Structure 1
Amino acid sequence: MDIRPIEIALLTGTWHDALDSQSDAPVATIAKNVVNGDFRDLTTSPSRDLFTVTQSRTENLLDRPLAEWFDRTQNLSSPGSSASTATPDDELLRLSCAVACLHAFVQANWTGPDLDIKPLDVLALSPELSQLVGEDRLNQKAVSELAFGGEPAYHLAQVPIFLQLARILLDTPFQHVQTAPWWRLRAWLVHEQVLDEPVAVPEGVFGAAAPLLDTFASASEPDLAGRLLLEQGLLEHYVGHDKSAAEYFVRAARATQLEYELTGALGKRTRFQQTDVTQLILLAQSRVRGDGSDPRQDADVSTGKKEEGAGPTTSAESETASEASSNNHNNIAEKAPSDPALPETLLLNDDTLLEQTAFTSSPNAGTPGSRLAHIDPAAQPALHPLDQAILLALCLNVRNTSPAHGLTAEQMAPYVARVLAHPRNWTVHTMALLLRTRLEAHRTRTVERAALQLQALVEQMPSADSPAAERLRFVHELVLPSRWEMEKELARRLLALGVVKSALAIFERLELWEDVVRCHASIERPDHARAVVRDLLAGRKTEADAVLAHAKASSDARRSTLDAARAAKLWCLLGDLEPEHAVEHYTHAWELSGHASGRAMRSLGGLHFARGRYAEAIACLRRAAAINPLQARTWFVLGCACLREEDWDGARAAFVRCVTIDDEDGESWSNLASVYMRMGEAGRRVDLEDGDEDGVRAAAAATADEDEDEDRDRQAVGPQGSRPAEKAKATAQRIPFTNKLLAFRALKQGLKVSYENWRMWSNYMVVALDVGEPAEACRALARVVEERAAKDGPACVDEDVLDRLVAAAGSESDNAVGKTETETETNANANAKRATQTTGLERRVADLFERTILPRVSSPRIFRARARFLTAQGRTADALAAYLDAYRAGPAGTIERGETDVEKWRVGVGEVEEIVDVLRNFNGSGNRDEGEDGAGAGAGDGGRSWRLQARSIVRTFMGRTRDNFEDEPEWARLVALQDEIRKEDA
């Protein structure tokens, strides 16, 4: 028997009639029933023979792993054997039973309706064993074995034994069945969602499934290739590898030949709009499938959509439909009688917003030249359900790769609207409605519909309004939350709306004690939270009524069989609630879990870090990271602790893991740059060489990334309480250029996601200068000034950096002029060339002065830097004006009559002497007209003009300060300067 078509049917959830004529083998009938959502064959032979528990294993049966309950030598191929005697039919039976167990678990916890089989009906137990093994004990054992990576499995999941049985079957070797690695991938995605936190996926899961793209899901099966790529992307998405997930999603769309384009089209969003406005829209079109079906010609009647070519939907029609729907007293969109397999869709019924954007009919809505330009935005064709699932995945990718901003929701909405427009599958439509509720939960006019729609989605799970096969067909192509996760989301939504009592009832029923504690804390009842946890640990608190109704064990029996992973988590929770005994509780949780609780080590490490015990924190956090390496926060705190201990290699490794997990973590990029600026070639501190002041300055800037908000969860790196000037001395070291370049690249990457972080810009500015990137330093200085000018004034300008930028721009200008200047050209010609020739850096520095700094702040040093810059450009008149502005802004220009500060006066004397020298050096240059304090002279007077100007400045300064400072020794310098100018004038 050719088992390949049956394997494809199991993967796609569709059984074709042609398969009935290929084989009448019993295993083919079993596979057909599994595809159709009927798992009752698990309770009969030959399927039940795989789950026979022999009497020879009755001794200490409950202490043995479930995999050892069965006689693997008869029914399963031994994992340790080098060759298998199993036939293709045997392996297909094993695969079909594994799929049945996996889908039974998914149906019970994800899609519904309720199962019609029980675990004890599947296991073949002798009468003696039946007395020992009950369904409750069986499920508790399965939950315990499903714990992985230090994370416990959800203890109230229904029939978890089915998931464990599926994993046991799929872990056996297969030689004839090719799709077993694919089903392992699916089982891992389900398993991940049962755990409290995502954990790292074993390497073999992805590696074994990848070859199927070439050997099984080839180009002749584009939908199979699309499914596999999509499911790989969803698993990457769930564990937080967003960049890799995005690549898989795009490849899946290409594999199925889905064409889509996010563009704009004219339309109306409110009832009162008179003119069309450009609205964001997703144009999409599926390919014609090989079976002759064309989803593009199908328009779902249940949504009232017109078929392609039937004409546009006008705003008047949309408004009429909305008014008609508002008469529906249950606020439920009516479904067409011909298509009952759809979830309830609530209408908005708003007096302003339309139910959906009313687009104006247009034959050319897409981008000119696009293959989708022919699609009418008012009547788009229906999509294949697989393509709809891909669009929902791409919608999730928009959220993953975009900041938390209202524009992100606006960009996600067209993907969801495109899927909701033509419902084709119960599960896909449910996922689209769920995404819509998440997008609408933060808008005033839609928050009510969002909460009610989520409630409707929760209540529809047990219903039988659609067959199980329909619900399971595309469940692996979605990240549909489990039933308890959806209820938890509903409870958190209610909590956000202030409905604390209802939220608390849901959390207690689901036994989500962390959320129960959070609810008590929100209503300022911490004592109740501690009492709840202590009662759970002592066995005094019974389970929820819904659990007791299922004949669960009493509290005493429950306490004796309490899962170790769950008990450890409760002790960690108690440690959070009782800080004075936190170390004791976290340590007890670690010991109770058998050194497997990542939560305990994360909490203990964070506590040690907060108390300044960095060595102990490093030891704990490394254990936690080894258990669950996907926790980015664990790596971040570990990196900060290593920084405090000056373990540069450890800090670098930790922050590299942070940015690997989340490449949009700006703080980790900044701290990684700080590590590079503190370490030598081998990661050790080395002495600063003479004259290496730039290295000190760069290191000081890299350590200056302290956050002003002390309540932030993440703490900035660097010694607490130290400031950049102090850090420059404390971190004296010789920094290799390679490290500076790595720091520059890290900061550049971090600024992509932390554009508003002025401290990162400040660090980037200094490091950019050290690696020879003055243009980037100029851009960074502009950002710092823009962010801090209003608060810090002139202090926001790093004047040392500004001076270096001016020097670099002047050097670049001289080089540019030198390339064209001949030996016979005069200095005047060279100055003329400088005035007309500008380089890239010169333009940036000029914009920095004219558009960024001077419109916001000013200081004498800033004016002097600009004067030097203008001098290098050959703009002598403007340069002299800048020097005069610097004089007026300094102590000499601002000193008033009656001033008594002698130190300020002495500084002013030096400034007067300096400005006179400047005027003397500009002798013969064109100057601006005379201004305040006589600080100006008419052009055309040649050498006389500067003397008049200088004499006026000296006379004015002496007149203001004569009364208080005439007896000072420096007064003689002013008198001598005045006589000198008079003599030159003569």
Structure 2
Amino acid sequence: MSLEIGPIEKTLLRGKWTAQIQDDTGPVADLAKAVVEGRFRDALTSPGAREVFHAKSATFDLPFDQAFHLAAPSTIQERDAELFRLILAVACLHAFVQVNWTGPDLDVQPLDVISLPSDASSDIVSEDFINQKAISELAQGGEPAYHLTKAAAFLRLAQILLALQYDRCHSASWWRLRTAFIHQQVLDEPVPQPSTLSASLQPLTEIFSAEPDLAGRLILEQGLIEHQLSQDRSAAEHFVKAAQATGLEYELTGALGKRTKFQQTDLSQLVLLAESHLVDDSVATTGDSSRITDGTGAETADETETRPSLPETILLNDDTLLEQTEFTSSNPSAPGSRLKHIDPSSQPPLHPLDQCILLSMCLNVKNTSPSHGLTNEQMAPYIARVISHPRNWSVHTMALLLRSRLESARTRTVERSTLQLQALIDQMPTADSTLQERLLYFHSIPLPSKWELERELALRFLGLGVVRSALEIFERLEMWEEVVKCWGALERPDKAIAIVRDLLEGRKAEAEEVLSRGKITSEHRRQIHDTTREAKLWCLLGDLEPEHAVEHYERAWKISKGTSGRAMRSLGGYYFARGNYAEAITCLKRAVAINPLLSRSWFILGCACMRVEDWEEAKNAFGRCVAIDEEDGESWNNLASMYLRIGTPAHTEPKGGSREDGENTEGITGRDVKKSIPFENKMLAFRALKQGLKFSYDNWRMWSNYMIVAMDVGELAESCRALGRVVEQTSGKLGADSVDIDVLERLVNAVTRAAANPEDAAAEQGAVSSTALNPNDGHGLFRSVSTLIERTILPRVSSPRIFRAYGKLLTWQERWEEALAAYLDGYRSGRAGTMERGETDVEKWREAVGEVEDIVDVLRNFGPRAAGSRWRLQARSIVRTFMGRTKDFEDEAEWARLVELQEELSHKEEE
């Protein structure tokens, strides 16, 4: 039997009261309509709601999930009881969102909703008491909830109601997802979500397959929580699927246009062409598709009368840059564009949900290269496409915020970026748009909370060097960790220590302590004190006082009763930095057990396990690192090294890496790979390094490791490519040492062991055609090796062995003249060619004698084949010159060999 979602449930999910249920005047429908229209006070203070939230105890001394009867009122039919509780949960959730996210100010408080027994004392059970208790219970996974969160009881009530069993209302699982997403934003760090959460959403995908707007929302919101948990690849896949579900067509292409005021020539500019296929029933209130702009993206007077109020858009007002790109071409540059019928300068408005999808594709603004995803330049057209047609207050706010983040790194736009962020903060408490509109697409965008927006503004000030302004905001928000950083930037660590100690010792009170001052402080109140936040303060003090760090971290762990992940992370890092790896491993294992989503904890744990040569545990730790953050190239490198060490004797010292924060990362040496390592492990190491290099393309150490492992597993073409990258990046500092000559010689040997004639080589390999070549051997490898030497190595560095390897390659090609020249270059740069008069080192001289004999043999063998070569004369000249420079060694036995060689060459010339 297929599952069904009722019309009221769909209305709640969409946030719009539909005509389909207009005639339903039952108590449940009336309650749902009040919630959809944002009348939360009417919904939550109704008699039925107060009956559900009737407290069991007058002192409210039970946890929230045990404090209420939660029974549906007798006026509600049994078949509607689930729906009634779901509607109340949505009302509580959205009331919490209104007061902490969207604004305007909320007209209902938790004690207006909670029905206390008649003997309850207002001195004990106050709004502050209820809020403090809820914030304490919102701590999860060792991460505290933000202690200035307003009306936190509403979020707890929503969680409690949604945790009940729902057999009829199948959309409850979707509301659990939305609640979890909001809860994550209240915590200091994200924490893992139960696997049952995503599993419970699977049936809904099939239910909404025929309703593209709901299907798109569901997939999009799943992607948003994946992004919140740093699962960027999975999130990106969800965003693309959401676009497919709604039918959104989009294409990033180019069109002729101008970006600056003084630009004379039209150049190809990036533009996002996009077209919606969803039906938007809000067009009547937001303007039709033929909207007119004044060239800056702002509506004309006729249009502003029909669209809703929107956040203030700060103009750029730059003397060079235009407000937006002016496209002069009506067609995109790409001739095969699917959306070639769209004029880049006059695109149709997008459905707000499709705008949310486009904005979600631009969330990761830290990307710096195409291999990591969209760059800043590529993201700008996505945001501009949304900003050009504002359709919803919250969506437009998010678009302006993303643009502000993109512009924060550019000199010409940083001022507008900061002013825009300030304007977005100032608009939150205003009533310039309806609450219903603000909530309409709230769950489809990652709109930050009010305190996060202010924190972002303070960080922007800090980045601009306006430390005092940043400090003022952080102190008002009581974000003490950031306050400490500001005092550190001002070179006043003593002030930071004083603040934390005052907070811990009661000399400085936080806001909620100020509110409760003068009220009765009972034993019960002390019991519900937010120990998680107190533990964080002790950790902060430990960071500031390294000499007492262990004492402070351990006290934080004790106060939190073993739940403070921050305490164990800090203590583990402290022990690791001082070489106490066994203690570090113990602490870090506790930390990752509490919160396994923080990749840095796993990374340090892996490094600590390496130091004690526990390769298996280190491999598991680095495996978790790359599972959390696929772009962590250092962890991929270390993971590869662990594959090469598992099952081998534990006696080798790790080679230092290039981690900027001082952490050692594992290196790979030729000795590592030569051990008796299973070939399967070698291939796993090869694949790990190959993956890691996508994200650490400029890390020459990783390329060096990759070169060695690729050589060992037979991927010689990849080893050749890696050697080229190492030389390109290090030749300026290391010179000839940048070339691993052993690897180069093995590459040349792999080429020259095949027959020089391609047809003969193919016949030897049993190939049916000369085109069926092995890219890691013979003629298949030749082009790569030849390019490596001629275009990468020799223009940068040289050495005798490099020239000899090149000469061998040329000899294989029967390019005799060039081969002779290469060998001679090698001789001239070698010991014999550079030896000066007065040399006294006998061993160096004997080695040089061998080089002279070698070059004479080369001339004797290849000289006759080189056209126009006077090889005898050249050989005699080499021997005579060398003997003339080293007459001091005439008494050595090897001198006779030189005399004999000279006589032999002279005799043959006379013949």
**TM-score normalised to structure 2 length:** 0.93
Equivalent-residue separation in structure 2 for 1:842 and 1:553 (angstroms):
85
Q: Does 1:349 pair with 2:274?
A: no
Q: Does 1:889 pair with 2:851?
A: no
Q: Where in structure 2 are the equivalents of 1:244-643 lying within 5 Å?
A: 244-289=234-279, 298-299=288-289, 305=293, 336-362=304-330, 364-365=331-332, 367-396=334-363, 399=366, 408-543=375-510, 562-643=529-610
Equivalent-residue separation in structure 2 for 1:339 and 1:401 (angstroms):
37
The DSSP-based 3-state class of the residue aligned with 1:653 is helix
Q: Does 1:171 pair with 2:96?
A: no
Give the structure 1 partner of residue 130 of structure 2. Answer: 138
From the superposition, tell whether residues 296 and 500 of structure 1 become closer, same or farther in structure 2 (CA, over 3 Å): closer
Q: Does 1:946 pair with 2:871?
A: yes
Structure 2 contact 800–830 (Cα < 8 Å) conserved: yes
Once the 2 structures are TM-superposed, how far is the Cα of residue 210 of structure 1 from its aligned partner? 2.0
From the superposition, tell whether residues 73 and 223 of structure 1 become closer, same or farther in structure 2 (CA, over 3 Å): closer
The DSSP-based 3-state class of the residue aligned with 1:922 is helix
Structure 1 contact 431–478 (Cα < 8 Å) conserved: yes
Q: Does 1:978 pair with 2:902?
A: yes
The DSSP-based 3-state class of the residue aligned with 1:283 is strand
- Within the candidate set 14, 20, 25, 2:16 is matched to 14
- Within the candidate set 57, 64, 67, 1:66 is matched to 64
- Within the candidate set 204, 207, 212, 2:204 is matched to 212
Once the 2 structures are TM-superposed, how far is the Cα of residue 281 of structure 1 from its aligned partner? 0.7
Structure 1 contact 142–161 (Cα < 8 Å) conserved: yes
Equivalent-residue separation in structure 1 for 2:44 and 2:559 (angstroms):
37
- Within the candidate set 706, 714, 731, 1:772 is matched to 714
Q: Does 1:800 pair with 2:742?
A: yes
- Within the candidate set 735, 738, 749, 2:691 is matched to 749
The alignment covers a number of residue pairs equal to 890
Structure 1 contact 258–387 (Cα < 8 Å) conserved: yes
Structure 1 contact 540–555 (Cα < 8 Å) conserved: no
The DSSP-based 3-state class of the residue aligned with 1:263 is strand
Cα deviation per residue 1:578-618 (whole Å; 9 max; x = unaligned)? 11111111111111111011111111111111111111111
Once the 2 structures are TM-superposed, how far is the Cα of residue 519 of structure 1 from its aligned partner? 0.4
Equivalent-residue separation in structure 2 for 1:593 and 1:778 (angstroms):
55
Once the 2 structures are TM-superposed, how far is the Cα of residue 946 of structure 1 from its aligned partner? 3.2
Once the 2 structures are TM-superposed, how far is the Cα of residue 449 of structure 1 from its aligned partner? 1.0
Structure 1 contact 88–177 (Cα < 8 Å) conserved: no
Once the 2 structures are TM-superposed, how far is the Cα of residue 103 of structure 1 from its aligned partner? 0.1
AA of the residue aligned to 1:33: A
Equivalent-residue separation in structure 2 for 1:588 and 1:334 (angstroms):
65
Give the structure 2 partner of residue 827 of structure 1. Answer: none
Once the 2 structures are TM-superposed, how far is the Cα of residue 644 of structure 1 from its aligned partner? 1.0
From the superposition, tell whether residues 902 and 921 of structure 1 become closer, same or farther in structure 2 (CA, over 3 Å): same
From the superposition, tell whether residues 436 and 74 of structure 1 become closer, same or farther in structure 2 (CA, over 3 Å): closer
- Within the candidate set 679, 687, 698, 1:737 is matched to 679
Equivalent-residue separation in structure 2 for 1:465 and 1:305 (angstroms):
22
From the superposition, tell whether residues 793 and 403 of structure 1 become closer, same or farther in structure 2 (CA, over 3 Å): same
From the superposition, tell whether residues 139 and 608 of structure 1 become closer, same or farther in structure 2 (CA, over 3 Å): same
Equivalent-residue separation in structure 1 for 2:644 and 2:552 (angstroms):
39
Equivalent-residue separation in structure 2 for 1:814 and 1:676 (angstroms):
38
Equivalent-residue separation in structure 2 for 1:485 and 1:204 (angstroms):
29
AA of the residue aligned to 2:339: L
Structure 1 contact 268–358 (Cα < 8 Å) conserved: yes
Give the structure 2 partner of residue 39 of structure 1. Answer: 40
Equivalent-residue separation in structure 2 for 1:94 and 1:585 (angstroms):
45
Once the 2 structures are TM-superposed, how far is the Cα of residue 17 of structure 1 from its aligned partner? 3.0
Equivalent-residue separation in structure 2 for 1:820 and 1:506 (angstroms):
73
Give the structure 2 partner of residue 935 of structure 1. Answer: none
Deviates more, 1:148-157 or 1:903-912: 903-912
Structure 1 contact 704–759 (Cα < 8 Å) conserved: no
From the superposition, tell whether residues 816 and 737 of structure 1 become closer, same or farther in structure 2 (CA, over 3 Å): farther
AA of the residue aligned to 1:207: A
Once the 2 structures are TM-superposed, how far is the Cα of residue 405 of structure 1 from its aligned partner? 9.7
From the superposition, tell whether residues 297 and 813 of structure 1 become closer, same or farther in structure 2 (CA, over 3 Å): farther
AA of the residue aligned to 1:37: G
Equivalent-residue separation in structure 2 for 1:555 and 1:444 (angstroms):
54
Once the 2 structures are TM-superposed, how far is the Cα of residue 417 of structure 1 from its aligned partner? 0.5
AA of the residue aligned to 1:480: L
From the superposition, tell whether residues 29 and 500 of structure 1 become closer, same or farther in structure 2 (CA, over 3 Å): same
The DSSP-based 3-state class of the residue aligned with 2:363 is helix
Give the structure 2 partner of residue 712 of structure 1. Answer: 661
Once the 2 structures are TM-superposed, how far is the Cα of residue 166 of structure 1 from its aligned partner? 0.2
From the superposition, tell whether residues 500 and 300 of structure 1 become closer, same or farther in structure 2 (CA, over 3 Å): farther
Deviates more, 1:426-435 or 1:348-357: 348-357
Once the 2 structures are TM-superposed, how far is the Cα of residue 401 of structure 1 from its aligned partner? 8.9
From the superposition, tell whether residues 775 and 821 of structure 1 become closer, same or farther in structure 2 (CA, over 3 Å): closer
- Within the candidate set 814, 819, 842, 1:874 is matched to 814
AA of the residue aligned to 2:108: I
AA of the residue aligned to 1:637: I
Equivalent-residue separation in structure 2 for 1:353 and 1:7 (angstroms):
48
Cα deviation per residue 1:72-118 (whole Å; 9 max; x = unaligned)? 46669xxxxxxxx9833111110110000000000000000000111
From the superposition, tell whether residues 960 and 751 of structure 1 become closer, same or farther in structure 2 (CA, over 3 Å): same
The DSSP-based 3-state class of the residue aligned with 2:252 is strand
From the superposition, tell whether residues 728 and 266 of structure 1 become closer, same or farther in structure 2 (CA, over 3 Å): closer
Equivalent-residue separation in structure 2 for 1:146 and 1:402 (angstroms):
38
Give the structure 2 partner of residue 825 of structure 1. Answer: none
Cα deviation per residue 1:545-582 (whole Å; 9 max; x = unaligned)? xx688666789899886410000000100010011111
Equivalent-residue separation in structure 1 for 2:763 and 2:95 (angstroms):
85
Equivalent-residue separation in structure 2 for 1:820 and 1:601 (angstroms):
62
Structure 2 contact 332–340 (Cα < 8 Å) conserved: yes
Once the 2 structures are TM-superposed, how far is the Cα of residue 920 of structure 1 from its aligned partner? 2.2
AA of the residue aligned to 2:316: L
From the superposition, tell whether residues 404 and 148 of structure 1 become closer, same or farther in structure 2 (CA, over 3 Å): farther
AA of the residue aligned to 2:428: M
Once the 2 structures are TM-superposed, how far is the Cα of residue 821 of structure 1 from its aligned partner? 7.6
Once the 2 structures are TM-superposed, how far is the Cα of residue 65 of structure 1 from its aligned partner? 1.0
AA of the residue aligned to 1:569: K
**TM-score normalised to structure 1 length:** 0.86
Once the 2 structures are TM-superposed, how far is the Cα of residue 948 of structure 1 from its aligned partner? 2.5
From the superposition, tell whether residues 404 and 569 of structure 1 become closer, same or farther in structure 2 (CA, over 3 Å): farther
Once the 2 structures are TM-superposed, how far is the Cα of residue 976 of structure 1 from its aligned partner? 1.7
Using the aligned pairs only, state the percent identity: 60
Structure 1 contact 296–383 (Cα < 8 Å) conserved: no
Structure 1 contact 286–295 (Cα < 8 Å) conserved: no
From the superposition, tell whether residues 179 and 744 of structure 1 become closer, same or farther in structure 2 (CA, over 3 Å): same
From the superposition, tell whether residues 730 and 358 of structure 1 become closer, same or farther in structure 2 (CA, over 3 Å): closer
Give the structure 1 partner of residue 847 of structure 2. Answer: 907
From the superposition, tell whether residues 373 and 366 of structure 1 become closer, same or farther in structure 2 (CA, over 3 Å): farther
Q: Does 1:858 pair with 2:798?
A: yes
Structure 1 contact 539–555 (Cα < 8 Å) conserved: no
Once the 2 structures are TM-superposed, how far is the Cα of residue 840 of structure 1 from its aligned partner? 2.5
From the superposition, tell whether residues 109 and 141 of structure 1 become closer, same or farther in structure 2 (CA, over 3 Å): same
Cα deviation per residue 1:124-170 (whole Å; 9 max; x = unaligned)? 11232243311111111100110001100001000000000000000
Structure 1 contact 542–554 (Cα < 8 Å) conserved: no
Structure 1 contact 136–552 (Cα < 8 Å) conserved: no
Give the structure 1 partner of residue 768 of structure 2. Answer: none
Give the structure 2 partner of residue 830 of structure 1. Answer: none
Once the 2 structures are TM-superposed, how far is the Cα of residue 756 of structure 1 from its aligned partner? 0.6
Equivalent-residue separation in structure 1 for 2:402 and 2:901 (angstroms):
79
Structure 2 contact 254–269 (Cα < 8 Å) conserved: yes
AA of the residue aligned to 2:474: F
Cα deviation per residue 1:30-73 (whole Å; 9 max; x = unaligned)? 1001001111221121111110013xx44x742x2111111246
